[in-house]
Amino acid sequence: MIDDLLHIFYPRSYTLSNGKVVKEKFNWAPYITIIVIIFSLLCAKITGVKLSVLRDRGYQFFVMLKQMIPPNWSFWADVKKPMLDTIIMSVLGTVFGCLLGLPISFYLSNNFKLNKYYMAVHRGLLSVLRTLPTMIYASLISLVIGTGTLAGTISIAIFTYTICVKMLYEQIETIDMGPYEAMESTGASRVQCMINAAYPQVRGYFWSTVLYCFETNVRSAAILGYVGAGGIGVQINTQLRWRAYANTGLILFVLVITVVVIETVSREIRKKLVQG
């Protein structure tokens, strides 16, 4: 029994009748499991996780939810404008980010043999910028150009640009270069070749990227109001401060419906785009 347990950690070896020793394959799984458990306990200590708190105060999670239901429907007049603002902020941010990203991504994909150093620097900058969420940009930009939807739009555009360019240049690197070379041999300029031979190959993927960015942006735009970048987040923040949970309930209801509708529609369109 104990022997069986020990053999979890090191492989069994068998001696065959001809004297040969055969070993089982070494298994890393138990070691990894133990490391993960130790690490989890360490993290629990750092973050102060105690299960007893969850048991004693867990009901508090639902207290707020209960106060949100039923939502205060008469609050709709105050929700309409910020909700529309949030959606329009994401639309504009996505459009500007992707329109800027489309030409740049051609210059950053390595099958056109453009300037190597420019490419490396720009790609490096993009992967640094990509690590920061939209909210950090929003809090910086809203200080510089003042609070409001403009700051939100610009920060969404920056974030979209970083994501969109990466997704696009990875796709552009996989295209068939035959048409491009054929056009080049007829004497077309490089930009003409890119527009007429390279872009049509990634057109469907480009629009699907635009929709994907829009989806994620609508989700993340809701919180931007917290740092003063306009949209529905401002209302959520104020209503929570006043403990007007019925109003918050309506905001949340509208937000969830909007996000789900946009995601469902965009997913269907993307499926069609990818299949052609």
Partner 1 sequence: MTEKTYTVDGQLRKFPSPLPKFLIELAAIVVIYFLANYTLDFSSINDKGLKIAVAALKGLLHPSIELITRMDSSGLLYMLMETLAIAFLGTIIGIVLALPLAFLSSRNIAPRWVNYICLTIISIIRAFPAFMYGIMFVRVTSLGAYAGVLTMAVSSIGMLAKLLIEAIEDMNPGINEALDASGCSAFEKIRYGIIPQLSSNIISIVIYRLDINVKNASILGVVGAGGIGASLIFSIGKQAWDEVGAMLFGLVVLVLVLEYFSTRIRKKLAVGE
Question: Residues binding partner 1: what is the number (CB under 8 A)?
Answer: 59
Rg over CA atoms, the chain = 27
Of the residues 47, 185, 186, 275, which one makes contact with partner 1 according to CB under 8 A: 47
DSSP code of 225?
Answer: G
Of the residues 76, 78, 95, 111, which one makes contact with partner 1 according to CB under 8 A: 95
Please say whether the beta carbons of 13 and 24 come within 8 A.
Answer: yes
Residue 77 as a binder of partner 1 (CB under 8 A): the answer is no
State the nearest-atom distance from the C-beta of 241 to partner 1, in Å.
11
Which residue, 39 or 114, has its beta carbon nearer to partner 1?
A: 39
Residue 8 as a binder of partner 1 (CB under 8 A): the answer is no
Find where tokens 């031979």 sit: 197
* Binding span for partner 1 by CB under 8 A among 128-136, 176-184, 195-203, 205-213: 128-136
Please say whether the beta carbons of 98 and 213 come within 8 A.
Answer: yes
Residue 146 as a binder of partner 1 (CB under 8 A): the answer is yes
Of the residues 15, 60, 186, 275, which one makes contact with partner 1 according to CB under 8 A: 60
The one-letter code for the residue type at 52 is S
- Give the whole-angstrom CA distance, residue 274 versus residue 269: 9
Residue 149 as a binder of partner 1 (CB under 8 A): the answer is yes
Query: How far is residue 167 from each of residues 120, 170, 218, 252, 273, measured CA to CA in Å?
Result: 16, 5, 19, 31, 16
- Give the whole-angstrom CA distance, residue 184 versus residue 17: 71
Residue 92 as a binder of partner 1 (CB under 8 A): the answer is yes
* Binding span for partner 1 by CB under 8 A among 14-22, 48-56, 71-79, 162-170: 48-56
- Residue 131: CA atoms inside 13 Å, Cβ hemisphere, count? 5
Of the residues 17, 52, 131, 186, which one makes contact with partner 1 according to CB under 8 A: 131
Q: Is the peptide bond before 179 cis (omega within 30 degrees of 0)?
A: no
The one-letter code for the residue type at 30 is P
Pick the closest to residue 152 from 97, 201, 70, 203 (CA basis): 97
* Binding span for partner 1 by CB under 8 A among 7-15, 171-179, 181-189, 217-225: 217-225
Which residues contribute to the site for partner 1 (CB under 8 A)? 29, 36, 39-40, 42-44, 46-50, 53-54, 57-58, 60-61, 63-65, 84-85, 88-89, 91-92, 95, 127-128, 131-133, 135-136, 139-140, 143-151, 153, 219, 222-223, 226-227, 230, 240, 252, 255-256, 259-260
